[in-house]
C-alpha cells in the first residue's frame, strides 16, 4: 500500500512556519525543506504524464489532483530534492482542503512569513509560483 501524503494532514502550514522559525540560518532551513521532501510519497510512474507536468518549473514537477469528500487531494512529485521539499511546503497549505479554503489561503503572506522567495533562485521562485497557480486553477474549477 502506498504511503499516505502527510501534507495538509499531520504536517500543516502552521507546523512548517513554526519549524522553520526554529532554525538560525538558511542552510539549516534548506536542509529542513529537503527533509520535508523525503516525507512526500513518490508519484507512481503511470501518473507522471505530460498533462500532469507543471510548466514553468526548472525541474520536472507532476501534480495529481482529485476531489474526495469535498476536499482536494493533491499528490505531487519532482525529480529534484529541494523541489520535493517546496512541494511539501505548498501541499501543507493546500492538500486535504476544500477548494474554497485553497482559494482563500493567502499564499503570498505564507511565503512572506517563511521568507522563502528571497532565498530561492528566480527560476525556483517562478516554479513555486507555477505550482501554486496550477493548484489554485484546479481549486477554482472544483469550486464551481
Q: With the CA atoms of 90, 95, 97 and 100 taken in that order, what torsion angle do they form, in degrees rounded to the nearest 10?
A: 50
Percent of the chain with pLDDT over 70: 97
Q: Where are the domains of the chain?
A: 13-143
Q: What's the average model confidence in pLDDT over 24-38?
A: 94
CB-based burial label for 3 (10 Å; 0-12, 13-18, 19+): exposed
The reported pLDDT for the residue numbered 2 is 54
Taking Cα atoms as reference points, which of 87, 69, 67 lies closest to residue 77? 87
Q: Does the 13-143 domain belong in CATH 3.90.470.10? A: no
Against a cut of 0.85, is the pTM above it? yes
What pLDDT does 49 receive? 95
CA distance 32 to 74: 21
Q: What is the pLDDT of residue 1?
A: 41
The residues annotated as belonging to the active site are 57
Which residues, 6 or more positions from 20, have their beta carbon under 8 angstroms from its beta carbon? 29, 32, 114
Amino acid at each position: 500500500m502506498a504511503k499516505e501524503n502527510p501534507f495538509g494532514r499531520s504536517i500543516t502550514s502552521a507546523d512548517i512556519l513554526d519549524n522553520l522559525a526554529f532554525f538560525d540560518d538558511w542552510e539549516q532551513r534548506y536542509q529542513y525543506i529537503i527533509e520535508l521532501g523525503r516525507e512526500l510519497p513518490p508519484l507512481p510512474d503511470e501518473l507522471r504524464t505530460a498533462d500532469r507536468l507543471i510548466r514553468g518549473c526548472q525541474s520536472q514537477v507532476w501534480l495529481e489532483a482529485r476531489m474526495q469528500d469535498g476536499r482536494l487531494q493533491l499528490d505531487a512529485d519532482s525529480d529534484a530534492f529541494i523541489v520535493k521539499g517546496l512541494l511539501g511546503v505548498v501541499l501543507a497549505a493546500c492538500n486535504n482542503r476544500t477548494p474554497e479554503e485553497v482559494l482563500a489561503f493567502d499564499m503570498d503572506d505564507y511565503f512572506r512569513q517563511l521568507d522563502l522567495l528571497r532565498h530561492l533562485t528566480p527560476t525556483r521562485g517562478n516554479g513555486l509560483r507555477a505550482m501554486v497557480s496550477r493548484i489554485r486553477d484546479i481549486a477554482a474549477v472544483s469550486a464551481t
